[in-house]
Amino acid sequence: MPTWNSRGLRGSTLEELLNKTNAKYLENNLALIQKIPTPITPIKIDKQSRHITLAYFEQKSTVDYIGVVQGIPVCFDAKECHTNTFPLANIHEHQVKFMENFEKQDGIAFFLLYFTVIDKFYYLSLRELLKFWNRALNGGRKSFRCDELNEKYFLKKESGVFVPFLDGIQQDLEDRE
């Protein structure tokens, strides 16, 4: 069973930005998105600060966020990447299966990637991920580079929120038509 320690803070910058974005979207009645906590069992707790210092994961998590945008069910996972290449090992098969099943129920599933090296957010639709995923399963590269991504899904920071993923959802909906 995997354990958690200080590695559990990876991605906390992106999570904080998403939580602020979700609060803004809720305030403007645009979306209701909730962070899904990963169930853990604490092993060690610092008695002074009451912080968990070691724990193990009770089960595999599916996605980081789930909710509804203007009547459309959405789920997504958020990942930070510190290079121009994203390793597919950061995405797990059970997450992909959950997202595929979610979309079979007429929801929208995607990943929000934050490429810290270039300070850009990317909306990675499940459809686009599956192209890279299947390439890896068929013996191809087990990662993808920024220059392989569709330019129109890089999120622009001009919409007044930290991570304007509603723009990505809108583009995704238009491309599905």
Q: Which residues are annotated as a binding site?
A: 62, 64, 77, 95
Strands 3-4 and 51-57, sheet pairing: antiparallel
**Could you tell me which residues are annotated as the binding site for Mg(2+)?**
62, 64, 77, 95
Length of the chain: 177
Q: How many CB atoms lie within 10 A of CB 131?
A: 11
Report which residue type is found at 166. L
| Residue 9, helix vs strand vs coil | helix
Region for 50 from its dihedrals, namely left if φ exceeds 0, alpha if ψ lies in -120 to 50, beta otherwise: left
Helix H or strand E segment including 68: strand 65-69
CA dist., res. 32 & res. 71, Å (int): 10
The residues pairing with 40 across neighbouring beta strands, listed in sequence order, are 57
